[in-house]
Structures are given as C-alpha cells and as structure tokens.
Structure 1
Amino acid sequence: MLERDEVVRLYGPWRRRTPLQAKQLLAGYPGPWWVAGGWAIEAFTARPRPHADLDMAIPRTDVALLVDYLAGRLDVWAADHGALRPLSAPASSAPTVPATCTNLWLRAGGDSPWEYDVLLSDVDDQGRTYRPAPGVSLPLEQALWTRDGVTYLAPQIQLLHKAHATRAKDDDDLQACLPLLTPSARDWLRASLDVVHPDHRWSRHLT
C-alpha cells in the first residue's frame, strides 16, 4: 500500500471534504451510502482526529446508479490496484467494475483535485455486509448507524478493517472507541478478530 504522499505525487492532490458535504452531494441519491474510515470513528467518539480524505461506501451492485446520479457534476473513476479507469454515464451504458476493484475516485475534471474516495462494499442477497471470512458478517441495518442525518459504518466493523495493518493512529482509534462500544459490538469484534486475524494484539483489550 502506497503512503499518502506517494499517492498524491502519482495521482494528484485531494480536496478536504466532510460528511456534511457528502450529505449535500448525495441529497436525493436513491441508493444506500455511508461514511467510513476515520470520519466514522470521529462521529462515534466525538473526538476530533486528523483526516487525509473522506471515505464513503456503497454496495458494489450500485456502481452504475452512482455514476448516473453524478453525471455532469463529478467524474467517476474505478481505482483498481493502481490503475485508474473512467466510468461513463448514463447507467444503462456504465461499465461494470471487476471484482478486484475496491474503490471509486470522484473529481470534477482532469485538472481538479480528487474529492471523494468511495469504497465498494459486498452486500449479499440477505443484506449482510463485510464478509472477509465465513461467518464474519452483519446485517446492513446493524452495520450502519446515523447521526445528524449522515449514515456511518459501525465502529466495530471499521476497527476490524483497521486491524489488517495497525498503525499508531489505529491504536488511538481503538482506545477512543473501547469505552463506548456496546457489549454486543465488543463481542462481535473480538469473535471476528479471532477468525480474520487470530492472536491479534487487540484481542486482549476486548476481553
């Protein structure tokens, strides 16, 4: 994974965006979307933290819906292992993205900064999301929560994402979340860590 400075050097700068601006951008959008990453942690803990960009997420099956909705305002690019490919509108002609593509990058044009990083979430027919291993998932209605009209990814899922390659800021996010996690959220995170990252050093904080 490239460091942030290297991403900017290779692909261009990012404009700082907030959840409120994402809410304004997607006002009237017909599909589900939510804020993930550090902004989701900050909303849950009410503790300010640094942000490099704003991570949003949508179900992978809704790529064409988003491309069509943003047509004429923001271009949508599929980011796939370092390769960027523009997606077109209307939705009827929008290309599908390969399974290896996990992000969409949004910007107004080629001479503009990137504005939003949209994560593609795998949501199955039963409405369950985050399935990195058998038995590790949550119904979408339990995976999301809302504050001030913005929907966010639940902290236990965001922390499980962060556990893949923990950095100092991820440890800080865990410590900020721990006192606020419900018993069920704490139990889910501990059980999921045991499956996805056995013997992870975070597990001892969740007992």
Structure 2
Amino acid sequence: MPRTETPWGPWEPASLAEVVTLFQGFAASWWVSGGYAIELAVGRSFREHGDVDISVLHRDQLSVRALLAGWDVHAADPPGTLRPWPVGEALPDHVHDIWAREHSDGPWRFQVMLDVAEDDVWVYRRDARIRRPLPTLTIRENGVVRIAPEVQLLFKAKSPRPKDERDFAEVLPTLDRVRRRWLDEALAVEQGDHPWRERLQAN
C-alpha cells in the first residue's frame, strides 16, 4: 500500500482483508465502500488505493467506537479538521468521516464513513430527496458486503477526480439498466446536467 502524507500524519492503509476481518466482529450493518467497492464490483484490481473505506449507519456509531476501543480514532469535526473521538461520545449529525490508527504515533489505517438512514430507508446525506430501501443499498458477494456500485458512483460524481473517472469507466460496463437508470435519475435530482449522464443513457 502507498504511504501518503497529510497535515494530520501519514497514511499507510491496512489491506482490505485486514479491515474486513476486524469488522467481522461488528454486530450492526457495515459494508465496504469507496474505490475498493468499485473494484469488487468489477471483479479485479485496476488501480492503487490511498485508503480503505468502511461504511456504517450513523445510528450505529457508538457500536463502531466500542469495536475500535483499542484504537486511536479521530472524527472530522468540523469537516476539514480532525479531533479525538473518545469511547462513548455520540457524534453530531454533521460528522460523517472517521479516521482510525492503532496508536497515536502510527499511520492512519482506514476510514469509517457514517451513512444516514430513516428506519429502513437509506438517505443520501448530500440531498435528502435521494433515497432507497436499505436492503438494496448493499450487495453480498463472496462473503463480503459492499455498497451498490451506482450508489458509490453518486458519491464520486461530485467534482470527480481522475481516479473517480477511472472507477466510473471501469464499472460502467457491469451496470445493468436498472442500476444505470437509478444513477442517471439521482444525478438529475442532485446536479441536473452531469457528464456521466449521457454515457449512462447510451446503452
């Protein structure tokens, strides 16, 4: 895994397998997200990753912190900064990004993203008009739960970086009409015009 520097210390991401093994002990819902979720959908590795993302529901945050009781965990609160997240502290609704490392002198190892749900309905935190039943949010395959690729692409569609464009291009051929239509409609709601919409509608 590549080592990258940040204002809050270096990143040396754990392997996806290590993080998945850690979360096998988590009783609430969790899933692989980010670039690794796209690669799992494609079925092969095609680029390097600067981090590992695991997503859980915001309402399960205290259980996550308990799982990571032995770790040095920080919350992006307010966004763009980091502060320690003590065990037992409930984070406010605007916090969605958590960084974790084994100890305070070590590199950051993975991120936990906090997603929003109302009862059994997932709510897109950037635009609450976009929703879907929680059971359709994830896919279980080969013993690993990952976010549906069209949902991950929705997160990546805002100001896409070169790696996001690569992820879109690689996973697009795997999306059936239902998944393409969902993403196209979600992009129309959130952004109106978007360069990806024409390609989603092409096939």
- Match 1:135 to one of 116, 129, 132: 129
Q: Which residue number corresponds to residue 27 of structure 2?
A: 30
Rounded to whole Å, the distance in 2 between the matches of 1:82 and 1:169 is 21
Residues 84 and 155 (structure 1), Cα distance of their counterparts in 2 relative to 1, 3 Å cut: same
Taking structure 1 as the reference length, the TM-score comes to 0.88
| Alignment partners' CA distance in 2, 1:82 and 1:152 | 26
Aligned amino acid, residue 111 of structure 1? D
CA contact (8 A) 1:131 1:137 kept: no
Post-superposition shift, 1:67? 1.1
Q: Are residue 175 (structure 1) and residue 175 (structure 2) matched? A: no
Aligned residues of 1:129 and 1:143 also touching (Cα < 8 A): no
* Residue 131 of structure 1: how far off its partner (Å): 4.6
**Greater displacement, 53-62 / 13-22:** 13-22
Matched to 1:162, the amino acid is: K
Identity percentage of aligned residues: 36
* Equivalent position of 1:154 in the other structure: 148
Conserved 8 A contact 1:19-1:150: no
Structure 2 contact 34–52 (Cα < 8 Å) conserved? yes
Q: Which moved more, 1:195-204 or 1:41-50?
A: 41-50
Show the counterpart of 1:42. 39
Q: What per-residue deviation string (whole Å, max 9, x for no partner) do you get for residues 113-149 of structure 1?
A: 1111111101111332425334311212111012221
What secondary structure sits across from 1:28 in the alignment? coil
- Unpaired runs of 5+ in structure 1? none
Task: Give 1:67's aligned residue.
Answer: 65
* DSSP 3-state at the match of 1:114: coil
Report the structure, 1 or 2, having the larger helix content.
1
CA distance in 1, matches of 2:183, 2:104: 41
Q: Calculate the TM-score normalised by the size of structure 2.
A: 0.90
Q: RMSD in angstroms over aligned alpha carbons?
A: 1.7
Determine which of 12, 34, 44 is the counterpart of 2:9. Answer: 12
Once the two structures are superposed, what CA deviation does each residue of 1:8-39 show, in whole Å capped at 9, x if it has no partner? 24111112223211121122211111111100
Q: Does 1:99 align with 2:93?
A: yes
Distance change (3 Å), C-alpha of 1:151 and 1:129:
farther
Give unmatched runs, 5+ long, in structure 2. Answer: none
Residue identity opposite 1:154 in structure 2: A
User: Residue 137 of structure 2 contacts residue 151 of structure 2 at CA under 8 Å; is this kept in 1?
Assistant: yes
Question: What is the CA–CA distance in structure 2 between the aligned matches of 1:18 and 1:147, rounded to whole Å?
Answer: 18
| Residue correspondences, number | 197
- What is the match of residue 113 of structure 2? 119
Cα 1:112/1:181, change in 2 over 3 Å: same
Q: 1:76·1:87 contact (CA, 8 Å) conserved in 2? A: yes
Aligned structure 1 segments of 4 or more residues deviating by more than 6 angstroms: none
